[in-house]
Amino acid sequence: MYKELDEQELARYCRERDRLAEDELYTRYAARIYTLCRRYLGDNDKAKDLVQETLIQALDKIQTFHYTGKGSLYGWIHRIAINKALNHIKRQRWRTVPFNLIKHDRVQEPTKEEMESIPQEKLLGWISLLPSLRRTVFNLYCIDGYSHREIGKMLGISEKGSASILAKARKQLKEEIKHYLNRQG
């Protein structure tokens, strides 16, 4: 019965502290939020904890959720997860300058076919290898669609700084992809 509920109804049942509705919310969104947390934290154990914290906070604050259309419940939980991930990253204080592992030679961009052949877990693995700041900026800009201005505000860095960090993250990822494709033959 609960599997058939749309987001609005599910949120309403959750407001009423319906335990089955809460389980349904977990079942429906936990895996995607887990992916998001893995992307940001680069650590599966921490990501697992963050998923729990995110969904518990979502249930605690479900009264503040306003349904605005399909996908709005997931979008709301998604933002909670990003905020929590950023707080976690800030607490980890990534301010040290990471070693520059990027070679200065130009790396050719992978083609569409090459990208399609790469499994998602590989992509998540490469993201987790990025230094914390690069990983955060790449996630915020390339995957979650934030602008450099927004990223700058979120992370306390300048727009140019954000763009520069993104460029380094892209280079590093392209390198990883290139090495992987070369190994694949």
Partner 1 sequence: MMRKWEDIFKDKLDGYESALPEGSLSEFHALKDGTGNGSSRKLYPLICVTVAAFAAGLAAVLLLRHPTSQENGVLVAEQPETPVYVDSEPAVVPESTGNPEITVAPKAISLSKSKESKESLDNKQTNPVVDPVVTPMEGKQAKTGTEASTVPDKPVIPLISPFAPEEESIKTVKLKVGPAAGAIAGGGLLAALLTPVIVEINDIHLPTVTKPTTSIGNEGNHNSGTSGSGTSSFIEEHQTTQPSQPSEPIDPGQPSEPIETTNPQDQEEPSDVLTGTRSHQVPIKAALSARIQLSERLNLTTGLEYSRYKSSFRYSISGEKTQIAHYIGIPVRLDWTLASNRWLDVYLGGGVEGDYCVGASLAGERINKDGFSLSLLGAGGLQLNVSDWLGVYLEPQFSYTFPRDYNVLETYRTFHPAVFTLSTGVRFVFGR
Q: Does 170 bind partner 1 (CB under 8 A)?
A: yes
Residues between 60 and 89 with contacts to partner 1, criterion CB under 8 A: none
Look-up: residue for tokens 């306390």? 156
**Single-letter amino acid, residue 74:** Y
Q: Does 112 bind partner 1 (CB under 8 A)?
A: yes
Kindly report each contact of residues 95-98 with a partner whose C-beta sits within 8 Å and lies 24 or more positions away, as own/partner.
Answer: 98/131, 98/133, 98/134
Among 5, 118, 154, 181, binds partner 1 (CB under 8 A): 118
**Mask: binding to partner 1, 88-107, rule CB under 8 A, as x and -?**
--xxxxxxx-x---------
* Alpha-carbon gap, residue 119 to 67, rounded angstroms: 34
**What's the start-to-end Cα distance of the chain, in Å?**
49
Nearer to partner 1, 66 or 91 (CB): 91
Among 2, 32, 67, 150, binds partner 1 (CB under 8 A): 32
Among 2, 12, 18, 52, binds partner 1 (CB under 8 A): 52
Among 63, 120, 182, 184, binds partner 1 (CB under 8 A): 120
Please count the CA atoms within 13 angstroms of the CA of 157 that sit on its side-chain side. 19
